[in-house]
Amino acid sequence: MNIQKRIAVIGGGSWATAIVKMLTHNVDELFWWMRNEEAAQHIKETKHNPRYLSDVLIDTNIVAVNSDLETICKTAEIIILAVPSAFLHTTLSEIGIDLSTKTFFSAVKGIIPEQNQIVGEYLQSEYHVPSHQIGVITGPCHAEEVALERLSYLTVACEDSGTSEFMAQKLSCRYIKTTTSDDIYGTEYSAVLKNVIAVAAGIAHGLGYGDNYLSVLVSNAIREIKRFVDTVHPINRDIKDSAYLGDLLVTAYSKFSRNRTFGTYIGKGYSVKTAQMDMNMIAEGYYAVKCIKEINKEFQVKMPITDSVYRIVYEKMSPKLEFKLLSEELD
C-alpha cells in the first residue's frame, strides 16, 4: 500500500484521542473529525481535547481537526472509525459521497444496534465496501494507558495483509507494539463480547464477589467467546492470543474499564439510567448484550454469562439472584 495514503480518525472521545496520539508519531498529516465544533476549535487553539484525555498534547502541525465529516471523508483514503456503536449509523448517514472506494478500520468494539451487525458487516451491506478494504483495530489497550505512554499491544486485522501491515506500522511506536491478523470477524466479535463479560465482572464486584470468583467467571467467559466466534465464523484461530484473551482480561479487571464500572453500578443496585448518567460515558456492553442476544437466536450458542447480563440489564432481574443461578453453571 502506498505510504502516502491519507488517514482520518472519526470520533472525539478517549479512544479516538489515543489513536490520534499514536498515529502522529508516524504520519506527516492526519485528519480528525469530531462532532462538537467548540471542542474542535479548542484543540486548534490549545492543542488539547477539552473533554477526553485532556493531558494529551495534540500536534496541530500534523493533525487537522474539523467538524465537517463529508469534507474529511472526501479527503481521506483510510478512515478509522472510533465513535460509539450506538451513534455510528447516524454519523455515517450524514455522508453524501460514495464510501465503497475507501478503506475502513473499525476501532469501535461494538455492534450497530439498528442492524445487529458488527461494523465490518455493516459497511459491506450498507455502503458496499469490499471485505478486503475493511480492518479492525483491537487488543488489550486502554486509552488512558496510551495517554500515559505505558507499553500496550494492538492487533490490526484485515483480509489484505498489506493493508493490515500498513496500519500496524502507522500505529506502532515506542509504547505501542502491534501484530497483524486476517480474522476480521473473530477479532471484532470477540471485542464486542469482552465488553459484555466486563459488565458481568463489574456486577460480580458490585455484589461483593471476590477475585476467586472473578477468575472462574473469566475462565468460563473465554470459553463462551470461543464457542460463539467459532460458530459464527469458523476458522482456525487461537483464542489465547492477546486480541481475544488479552483484551478480555484487561477489560474485565482494569479500573479504566467503563464496562466493568457500569456493571459495578448495577451490582450495587443502581438503575441502568442512573449508572449511565453518573458515568457520562458510553458502556458498549449495554448495547452489545442486546445485539448478541438477537444474533444468537439464529446460532443457539450456549452463553450463560451473556444471558445473565441481558436479563439483569434489560429484563430488570435481580443481579443477586441471577448471579446465584449463574454460579451453579460455572466450572
Amino acid symbol at 46: T
Kindly tell me the sign of the dihedral angle through the C-alpha atoms of 91, 96, 98, 101: negative
Please provide the distance, in angstroms rounded to a whole number, between the alpha carbons at the two ends of the chain: 47
CB contact at 8 A, 309 and 204: no
Which is nearest to 309 in space by CA: 273, 266, 274?
A: 266
Query: Residue 61 class from Cβ within 10 Å (0-12 exposed, 13-18 middle, 19+ buried)?
Result: exposed
Q: How far apart are CA 198 and CA 60, in angstroms?
A: 35
Question: Pick the catalytic residue: 21, 194, 226, 293?
Answer: 194
Q: Coil, strand, or helix at residue 111?
A: strand
Residue entry with cell 478509522: 80
How, if at all, do strands 152-158 and 134-138 pair?
antiparallel
Q: Residue 180 in contact with residue 168, Cβ under 8 Å?
A: yes
Distances (CA, A) of 145 to 175, 254, 257: 10, 11, 11
Angle subtended by helix axes 284-299 and 211-232, to nearest 10: 50
**HSE of 110, CA atoms in CB hemisphere, 13 A:** 24
185: cell is 470477524
DSSP state of 64: E
C-alpha cell at 138: 483491537
Is 240 among the catalytic positions?
no
List the catalytic residues. 194
